[in-house]
Structure 1
Amino acid sequence: MEKVYFIPDDRLGIQIPMLEREWEEFSESERSFILEQWENIRGSIPTRIQAFERCIVQKQNELYDESDFERSCDLNWEIAALASCINDLQLWYRLNQEVDDRPHT
């Protein structure tokens, strides 16, 4: 059975780390594999953020023309949820681990 290091996050549209033990407990080859996979996932985050931003702009445009108060409230909640996704993606994007804990000289 293949080890699982990442699980899908449907809300964010990316795979997120699911490490069942401390980083230091992984072998160097496991760390390298995990980091390689993470860098591939991490590389897709800016595209995901842009997609959420486009949705926000679309909903803001709808909100601008919306006269129904209840629908306006719904649109505001949807915009806030999308903004929350962007914030979480930015946090994941900044997440980084070192493969090699030895000092570099």
Structure 2
Amino acid sequence: MNEYFLQNERLGISTPNLQLEWDQYSEETQQSILLHWEKIRGRIPDRIAELEEIINRKQAQLSDEADFARSCELNSEIAELASIINDLWLWYRTNQDVTEKMHQ
């Protein structure tokens, strides 16, 4: 399946990397891709929970931080983590219809 997915370091998951139009893949290949994606998709909520824990730790640090420069760094890190979470939810929801088609 490595030929159909690429590891996205920012998101911490593999994302689809299809070189052909969906209909150009055999039905067997489509099913394999969908099964693999379903496994990845199923781990997205866990990945989001991990990132939320990191955000919570950084927010706790921020509430005790007296140094303005460090506060700005923490805010920036929190914003980036929140952006990653948003992107993960987009992947999770956008591809939900594909997953539903797989089960029909």
- Note if contact 1:31-1:99 (Cα within 8 Å) is conserved in structure 2: no
Q: Computing the radius of gyration over CA atoms, which structure comes out larger, 1 or 2? A: 1
- Note if contact 1:63-1:75 (Cα within 8 Å) is conserved in structure 2: yes
- Structure 2 gaps of 5+ residues are none
Q: What is the deviation of 1:26?
A: 1.3
Deviating 4+ runs (over 6 angstroms): none
- The answer to whether the aligner puts 1:19 opposite 2:6 as a matched pair is no
Distance in 2 between the 1:14 and 1:29 partners?
23
Question: CA RMSD, aligned part only?
Answer: 1.7
- Structure 1 gaps of 5+ residues are none
Q: What is the deviation of 1:99?
A: 4.3
- The C-alpha deviation readout for 1:32-66, integer Å capped at 9, x for no partner, is 00000000000110000000000000000000000
The count of corresponding residues between Structure 1 and Structure 2 is 100
Determine what percentage of the aligned residue pairs are the same residue.
51
User: Where do residues 29-48 of structure 1 align in structure 2 (5 Å cutoff)?
Assistant: 29-48=28-47
Distance in 2 between the 1:29 and 1:91 partners?
27
Local SS of the residue matching 1:32 = helix
Structure with higher helix content: 2
- The answer to whether the aligner puts 1:57 opposite 2:66 as a matched pair is no
Q: TM-score, normalised by structure 1?
A: 0.88
- Note if contact 1:28-1:99 (Cα within 8 Å) is conserved in structure 2: no
Local SS of the residue matching 1:19 = coil
Distance in 2 between the 1:3 and 1:74 partners?
36
Cα 1:79/1:3, change in 2 over 3 Å: closer
Local SS of the residue matching 1:61 = helix
Distance in 1 between the 2:18 and 2:74 partners?
36
- The answer to whether the aligner puts 1:72 opposite 2:67 as a matched pair is no
